[in-house]
Chains A and B, each alone.
Chain A
Amino acid sequence: MSKAFLSIENLTQRFPSGKGEQMTVFENASFGIEKGEFVCILGHSGCGKSTIMNILAGLADPTSGAVLMDGKEVSGPSLDRGVVFQNYSLLPWLSALKNVTFGVAARYPEWSKAKVVEHSTKYLSMVGLDGDAIHRKPSQLSGGMRQRVSIARAFANHPKLLLLDEPFGALDALTRGTIQDELLKIWSGTSQTVFMITHDIDEAILLADRILLMTNGPFARVAESVEITIPRPRKRDQIIDHPNYYAIRNHLVHFLATRSKELAGQQTGSESNTPQTVRIDRLEEAKGDDSDDPRPASHLRAVNE
C-alpha cells in the first residue's frame, strides 16, 4: 500500500504484567489515515485505543513499530499534532481566552500579542463562545463550554493532525449533541485531519469518514475499517433517514457486541494486521452495483444497544 499521510506500521505495545510476564495490549497494528480525513476508532475499554492515541500524540513510546506522518517518523510530542483530552486539560488558573492564546502563542511565537488574541477570539467564537464567557476561568464554565475551549485551542493551532481522546465522554447527551455540531461546523471549514476515540456509535457515524473497529484486548487489533457512505454535510436529524444509516449502525453494533469478542486474543505472529475495508452502501446495491459488503443485507437486523 502506498504511504498514507499518517501511517501506523506494525505498532506493538506490551506492558509488564506483574509476575515478570508481558501483557500485549495490541500487536502489529497497521493502518493509514489520509490527509483531511476524519477517522474514528471504536472499541471496548482496555483494547488500547488510548495507548494508540498517546503514541500518536508522542506522549508514550510503543514497544515496537513506528508512526510516520508526512513520511517522517513521529517521536515525542509536537505542535503538528494537537490533542483534545477527555478531561479538557485546560489550565485552571487561566481564563478561557488565555488558555487558547497559550496554545496560539506557542504555535506562532512570531505573532504580535494583538494578533494572537484576535486569532484566539475568532476560534472561540467559532465554537460559540464569545462576550463575557471567554474571560471566565474554566471552573466558572460548564463542562460543555470547557470542552469547547479545548476544541478551539486545538483548532486554532492548525495542527497537521488533530487527536481527540473521547472528547465528549464526560458530557451529557444533549450537550454532546450540540458540541458535535460545533465540531462538524469548525471541521468542515478546514481540511483538518482528525483521529478520534469514541465509545458512541452514533457519534462516530455522524462525524467520521471512516471508522476503525478494534477487537478486545489483550492482543487487540484493528480488525475493520468501515467507510461511512453517507454524504456530507450531515445533520443528526437527517442522517437517521438515510438508507445506509441503520445498515452501518447495525454492522457496528454487531461487531462490538459479538465479533469483537470472537476475534479477540488471536495472535497473528509477525504478519502485519491491516484492517479489512468494509463498505456498506444500500444505494449502490439498489443500482445493482457490486457491493463488497461482507455480509448480505438480509443478515442485517436492527439491534438496540
Chain B
Amino acid sequence: MDRLSINQRAVILSFVLLIGGLLVWEASIPAQKAASELTEYERLTGGGAPKAGVPPPSQVIEKAWQELSNPFYDAGPNDKGIGIQIAYSLYRVLSGYFLAALVAIPIGFLIGMSPVAYKALNPFIQVLRPISPLAWMPLALFIIQDSNASAIFVIFICSIWPMLINTAFGVAGVRSDWVNVARTHELGPIKTALTVILPAAAPTIVTGMRISIGIAWLVIVAAEMLVGGTGIGYYVWNEWNNLDLTSVIFSILMIGVVGMALDAAFGRLQRAVAYVE
C-alpha cells in the first residue's frame, strides 16, 4: 500500500466509498413481495399494487443507461431526452450569465477606478444584492410577459453581483506601480485598461465569474420549476409529478455533473489568467 501514490490511494478510497454507499442503499430498500406470496386478504385490499418507494441504485443506473444512450429524443412536450433538457437549461444559464458579464465587468471597472462611482453605486448594490433572485420572478413575468426570458432575467440578476463586486475589488487593488508603468509609457485610458489593469485584475474577476456561474446553475433549477416547459429543473418537477423517483434521482445526479463541469471550466480559466507576483 505504501508504494501507491497519494492520488492512487485516494482513487481507491473513492471507489470503496462509492461501492459501499451503493450497497448500503441497495440493501436498505425493502423488496416488493411477489404476487404468489400474497394472502387473499392482501390481494383484496390492493397490497399487490406496486408501492411507491425510493428506488434502489440498480434501477437508477439502469435508468441512467437508458437515458444517456438516447439523450436527445423528443417525443412531445412532456417526454424529451435528458440531453435536450440540459441543453435548454444551459442555454438559459449562459445567456443570462453572459448578459450579466457584459453589464457587470464594465460597471465593475468604473466602480473600481472611480471612488465617486463606487460611493454613488454602493447603496444600490448593497440593497439589490441580498434579494433572492426568485423574488424577481413575478415582476419579471409581468413586465417581460415571457416565461423563458423571465428565467434568463433571473439568471442575469443573480450572476451579476459576484462579478460586479469582484471586478471592482480587483480593479481597485491593481498596484499603483503597474499603473505608473502604463503612465510613463504614455498609454491611453483604454490601452491602460486592456493591457495593464485587465490582466492585473483578471484573477479576481475570474474568481467572481466562477462564483457567479455556480450560483446561476443553482438558481436555474428553481427558476425552471416555476416557469415550467423545458429544462432540467422542469424535468425534476415533472418526474416528481409522475412519481418517477428513479428519474428524479437520475436528474439530481445530472445537475451535479453539469455544475461540476461548469465549475471546472472556470477553474481552468482561472489557472490561465493567474500570475505570481
Interface residues of A (CB under 8 A from B): 57-59, 76-79, 81-83, 85, 87, 89, 91-93, 102-103, 106-107, 137, 139
A92-B276, A139-B275 given; A81·B199 CB < 8 A: no
> Shortest distance in angstroms between A118's beta carbon and chain B's nearest beta carbon?
19
Pairs A–B under 8 Å by Cβ, sample size 10? A58-B184, A79-B186, A83-B180, A85-B177, A87-B177, A89-B181, A91-B199, A92-B276, A93-B273, A102-B195
- A83 / chain B contacts, CB cutoff of 8 Å: 180, 184
Whole-angstrom CA separation of A107 from B180 in the bound complex: 16
- A76 / chain B contacts, CB cutoff of 8 Å: 183
> Shortest distance in angstroms between A145's beta carbon and chain B's nearest beta carbon?
15
A58, A82, A93, A137, most chain B CB atoms within 10 A: A93
Chain A's closest residue to B274 (CB) is: A93
Contact of A79 among B178, B184, B202 (CB under 8 A): B184
- B196 / chain A contacts, CB cutoff of 8 Å: 91
- A137 / chain B contacts, CB cutoff of 8 Å: 275-276
Q: Are A106 and B185 in contact (CB under 8 A)?
A: yes
Whole-angstrom CA separation of A93 from B196 in the bound complex: 10
Chain A's closest residue to B181 (CB) is: A89
Q: Are B185 and A107 in contact (CB under 8 A)?
A: yes
Chain B's closest residue to A92 (CB) is: B275
Q: Does B277 contact A (CB under 8 A)?
A: yes
Nearest 7 pairs between A and B by C-beta?
A139-B276, A93-B275, A106-B185, A77-B183, A89-B177, A77-B184, A92-B275
- B178 / chain A contacts, CB cutoff of 8 Å: 89, 91
- B275 / chain A contacts, CB cutoff of 8 Å: 92-93, 137, 139
A58, A91, A139, most chain B CB atoms within 10 A: A91
Q: Does B200 contact A (CB under 8 A)?
A: yes
Interface residues of B (CB under 8 A from A): 177-178, 180-181, 183-187, 195-196, 199-200, 202, 273, 275-277
- B195 / chain A contacts, CB cutoff of 8 Å: 102
Q: Are B277 and A89 in contact (CB under 8 A)?
A: no
> Shortest distance in angstroms between A156's beta carbon and chain B's nearest beta carbon?
12
For the complex with contacts A85-B180, A89-B178, A93-B202, 20 further pairs of A-B residues with Cβ separation under 8 Å are A57-B184, A58-B183, A77-B180, A77-B184, A78-B186, A79-B184, A79-B185, A85-B181, A87-B177, A89-B177, A91-B178, A91-B181, A91-B199, A92-B275, A92-B276, A92-B277, A93-B275, A102-B195, A107-B185, A139-B275
- B186 / chain A contacts, CB cutoff of 8 Å: 77-79, 106
A89-B178, A102-B195 given; A82·B277 CB < 8 A: no
- A87 / chain B contacts, CB cutoff of 8 Å: 177
> Shortest distance in angstroms between A210's beta carbon and chain B's nearest beta carbon?
24
Q: Are A93 and B199 in contact (CB under 8 A)?
A: yes
Contact of B183 among A59, A103, A107, A139 (CB under 8 A): A59
- A103 / chain B contacts, CB cutoff of 8 Å: 185
Contact of A139 among B177, B180, B184, B277 (CB under 8 A): B277
> Shortest distance in angstroms between B23's beta carbon and chain A's nearest beta carbon?
49
- A139 / chain B contacts, CB cutoff of 8 Å: 275-277
Q: Are B187 and A106 in contact (CB under 8 A)?
A: yes
Whole-angstrom CA separation of A93 from B178 in the bound complex: 11
Whole-angstrom CA separation of A229 from B247 in the bound complex: 91
Q: Are A81 and B184 in contact (CB under 8 A)?
A: yes
